[in-house]
A and B are shown apart, each in its own frame.
Chain A
Amino acid sequence: MSKKPTAIAEKNSAPAVPANDAAHAPINAGLPREEKIELYRKMVRIRRFEERSLQAYQKGGKIGGFLHLYIGQEAVAVGCCSLMGKHDHVITAYRDHGHAIAVGMDTKPLMAELYGKATGCSKGKGGSMHYFDPTKNFWGGHGIVGGQIPLGVGLAYGVKYQGHKGAAMAFMGDGTVNQGAVHEAYNLASLWQLPVIFVIENNGYSMGTSQERSSAGALAKRAEGYDMAWGVCDGHDVYQVRATMDKFLRLAREESKPAVIEIRTYRYRGHSVADPDNTYRSKQEIEEYRRSKDPIQVFQNQLLTERVLDEALIEKIDAEARAEADAAADFSEASPFPTPDDIQKDVYWETDNPTERKSQGRLFFD
């Protein structure tokens, strides 16, 4: 049985989100101790990985382009992806580091991808926004707002067509709900009763434009127009994320019912590293979220209350996550860049598999 956060939590200047009924949900109450620790560890690993990547970006000049950090939103990806079965699939947008770690990708190739190295998960060809690992049922990592959502419907279509009991989770930000492709995807999912959960990670801002300045009405409620189930949950609490998503994932897997779930969360960093974050929200607002709703702190308090964690284990997990992030950076540093010869590899399946090529003629031009 969970209790209110203890004195230890208060000492850590935390947790406004009270211990809640979600801890009693069977999907959480039945979790073995090791799996609860694993949820906590994954959130810490995501945060330390991203802090290390930010350091490499800002201080080392090791990373180019965009870097969209997930810090503050960790409970969403970890909670959702912890529920994945063999035939469940994940696709998301460009803020994808958290999901990649949550589905079980190794942080070394993830960091190396940021460094643009040949050892990166996409061989240095995708970058921060384009992580993929089909062996973990993780289909990206997509750069265009909303472009991944029809693909997510296609994953659900594939699962259903092939006769599997599974579901696709198609993640998007709150700004994405205004893209046309999303609405086309909603209609197809409901029309054909496809097992897809559209997960809106509502961090309050579509880049620098707040929800009230960009979206009319309630976000998930738009599902009603497509005759789909919908729900809203607190994304600062990994137990709540799991309890809510478990319910809808079961409906998707067992009855092939789609749904739209809005998970309320917050990002502490700018939209990307290029965002100085001083124009559209106050420092006090960010601080208030950090102080009272930090998902790692909230869950730490919960697990302290449950006596799953203690201070020594908390420190050990944190030290290991920092060491892992440093090791990923060292690995990336030591790895080679792709060569100019690599530029034209991985373009066509046929040219990558020349012995099986059936077509003739030139595929590349100069």
Chain B
Amino acid sequence: MPVIEYREAIRDALAEELTRDANVVVFGEEVGQFQGAYKVTKGLLEKFGPKRIVDTPISEAGFIGMGIGASMLGVRPVMELMFWSFYSVAFDQILNNAANVRYMSGGQINCPIVIRGPANGGTNVGATHSHTPENVLANHPGVKVVVPATAYDAKGLLKSAIRDNDPVFFLENTMLYGEKGEIPTEEYLIPLGKADVKREGTDLTIVTYGRCVLHSLAAAALLEKEHDVSVEVVDLRCIRPLDIDTVLASVAKTHRVLIVEEQKPFASVGSQLAYMIQREAFDELDGPIHRLATIDAPAIYSPPVEAEQLPNPQRVLKAALAAVA
């Protein structure tokens, strides 16, 4: 199978869907002539032309709102946010309009829009550019939230997201864009809301998603080698819809849980997971649910310290040992 970068997998998904459906249009800042701030959309303008690959002004509320409006008429916009951190200036459009318009119209309207872009820390760009809003987004009924960890998942999930008739928010990671993975040559889709067991184990379940999947897999290898602890890593892949059944099946197998997330801890995705696990698998648990999150402060700039503020393999290792102690 060909081995390609995560960013190429996203690009391939875009290209395939642009080819398949004339209603798909890619919008965003620097997606065309500049070839994408992170080169995700490289070459698409040349291939599909300016009607399908549209450079927007720096105007997130305007162009995201415009995409939502166009989607009500059947256009299928895929809007790139250069950073998901900029969602704050388009918040009203994303959450009052995309998330609510179906409900407020009594089901008469749907918004088949995808908003995608990176949402992560770890690049030393400070608090304004390091938001991870998957919990904020997923708090709103009406939307779907996807956070892929690998090139394979990113491609299959993005293709499903573009075909979805509800608004889908697709959160990538600049630290993953260069990560390589195997991709089949034939077309494939991954349904939203299906978790993936990335590593099987018997002593501890790590529930995670996004870049923390890679940290957890690295820690799991060390735990097995150096501490004789067998870790199962469950990659949620989607936050909403949520595949809680795969999580509960793993808990029933290992009886111990560590949640790892690149999230501020208060009211995070992990908070919701912990509630659901204790509510639905209380008798399976041999100890309290543990969690490793971002250290609770705005994102620090200082490069070596930011690496410690976020989950990383060493922090996962330490948290895992505490969870099985």
B67-A358 in contact (CB<8A): no
A168 vs chain B, min Cβ distance (A): 8
Kindly provide the distance from the CB of B138 to the nearest chain A CB, expressed in whole angstroms.
9
| Pick from A91, A121, A187: contact of B59, CB under 8 Å | A187
Q: What's the least CB distance linking B197 to chain A, in Å?
A: 15
B72:A155 contact, CB within 8 angstroms: yes
Q: Is B65 a contact partner of A360 (Cβ separation < 8 A)?
A: no
Number of A residues, CB within 8 Å of B = 56
Binding stretch for chain A, among B28-36, B186-194, B226-234, B249-257: B186-194
Q: Which positions 140-196 of chain B face chain A at CB distance < 8 Å?
A: 141-142, 144, 160, 163-166, 191-195
* A316 interface residue per 8 A CB criterion: no
Given contacts A159-B73, A347-B141, A359-B192, contact A184 B59 (CB under 8 A): yes
Q: Could you tell me the distance between the alpha carbons of A142 and B97 in the complex, rounded to whole angstroms?
A: 9
From B61, B69, B107, A352 is in contact (CB under 8 Å) with B107
B295: chain A residues at CB < 8 Å are: none
Q: Which residue of A lies closest to B144 (CB)?
A: A359
Minimum CB–CB distance from A164 to chain B (whole Å) comes to: 9
Contact A144–B96 (Cβ < 8 Å) = yes
- Partner of A155 from the list B69, B102, B240, B241 (CB cut-off 8 Å) is B69
Across the interface, do B192 and A154 meet the contact criterion of CB distance under 8 Å?
A: no
**Size bin of chain B's contact surface:** 35 or more
Task: Convert A1-28 into 0s and 1s, putting 1 for each residue whose CB lies closer than 8 angstroms to a CB of B.
Answer: 0000000000000000000000000000
**Known contacts A151-B97, A363-B240, A158 near B106 by CB under 8 Å:** no
Q: Inside 8 A of A91's CB, which chain B residues have their CB?
A: 69
Contact with B along A114-137 (1 / 0, CB 8 A): 000000111111100010111000
Nearest B residue to A154 by beta-carbon distance? B69
Question: Does chain B have a CB within 8 A of A304?
Answer: no
Contact: A346 with B73, CB < 8 Å?
A: no
Could you tell me the distance between the alpha carbons of A365 and B97 in the complex, rounded to whole angstroms? 21
Does A362 touch B at the CB level, under 8 Å? yes
> Most chain-A Cβ atoms within 10 A of its Cβ — which of B68, B141, B244?
B141
Q: Say yes or no: B66 contacts A359, CB within 8 Å.
A: no
* CB pair A140 B194 closer than 8 Å: no
Contact partner of A157 (CB less than 8 A), chosen from B66, B93, B109, is B66
Query: Could you mark each residue 338-352 of chain A with 1 if its beta carbon is under 8 Å from any beta carbon of chain B, else 0?
Result: 000000111111101
Which of A143, A155, A352, A359 is the one whose CB lies under 8 Å from B193?
A359
Interface status of A153 (Cβ within 8 A of chain B): yes
Q: Are A162 and B73 in contact (CB under 8 A)?
A: yes
**Are A358 and B192 in contact, with the CB atoms below 8 A?**
yes
Tell which of A143, A154, A363 has the most Cβ of chain B within 10 Å: A154
User: Counting CB contacts under 8 A, is A235 at the interface?
Assistant: no
* B109–A158 CB distance below 8 A: no
Known A-B contacts A144-B92, A150-B65, A188-B66; A130 and B144 likewise in contact (beta carbons under 8 Å): no
Interface contact B105-A153, CB-CB below 8 Å: no
Contact A130 B105 (CB under 8 A): yes
In the complex, the answer to whether B70 meets A158 with C-beta atoms within 8 Å is yes
Q: Which of B68, B191, B242 contacts A362 (CB 8 A)?
A: B242
User: Is B17 interfacial (CB-CB < 8 Å)?
Assistant: no
B191:A359 contact, CB within 8 angstroms: yes
Across the interface, name the chain B residue whose C-beta is closest to A352: B107
B105 touches A150 (CB 8 A): no
B160–A359 touching, CB < 8 Å: yes
| A-facing residues in B108-131 (Cβ within 8 Å) | 108-110
Is B282 among interface residues, defined by CB-CB distance under 8 A?
no
Q: Is A195 an interface residue (CB 8 A)?
A: no
A204 within 8 A of B: no
- On whether the beta carbons of B108 and A153 are closer than 8 Å, the reply is no
Which residues on A sit within 8 Å (CB–CB) of B56?
188
Asked whether any CB of chain B lies closer than 8 Å to the CB of A208, the reply is no
Complex contacts, B66 vs chain A, CB 8 Å = 150-151, 153-154, 157, 185, 188
A353 / chain B contacts, CB cutoff of 8 Å: 165
* B191→A188 contact, CB < 8 A: no
Give B56's nearest chain A residue, CB to CB: A188
Judge whether A364 is part of the interface by a CB distance below 8 angstroms: yes
B107 CB contact (under 8 Å) in A187, A346, A363: A346
B71 nearest CB neighbor, chain A only: A154
B163 touches A157 (CB 8 A): no
Is there contact, CB below 8 Å, between B106 and A122? yes
Q: How far is the CA of A348 from the CA of B99 in the complex (A)?
A: 9
| CB-nearest residue of chain B to A186 | B62
B108→A134 contact, CB < 8 A: yes
For B244, list chain A residues within 8 Å (CB).
361-362
Smallest CB gap from B52: residue in A? A161
Residue of B nearest to A170 (CB): B69
* Bound CA span A364–B272, Å: 12
Q: A168 — nearest CB in chain B belongs to which residue?
A: B69
Known: A153-B65, A157-B69, A348-B166. A140 touches B104 (CB 8 A): yes
Q: How many angstroms between the C-alpha atoms of A132 and B110 in the bound complex? A: 12
Q: How far is the CA of A365 from the CA of B73 in the complex (A)?
A: 30
* A147 interfacial contact with B, CB 8 Å: yes
Contacting residues, chain B, for A122 (C-beta < 8 A):
104-106, 108
B301 at the interface (CB under 8 A from A): no
Residue pairs across A and B with Cβ atoms less than 8 A apart, 10 shown, are: A89-B73, A91-B69, A134-B108, A139-B109, A155-B73, A188-B56, A346-B106, A347-B142, A359-B164, A360-B241
Q: Which 4 A-B pairs have the closest CB atoms?
A: A154-B69, A150-B65, A184-B62, A361-B193
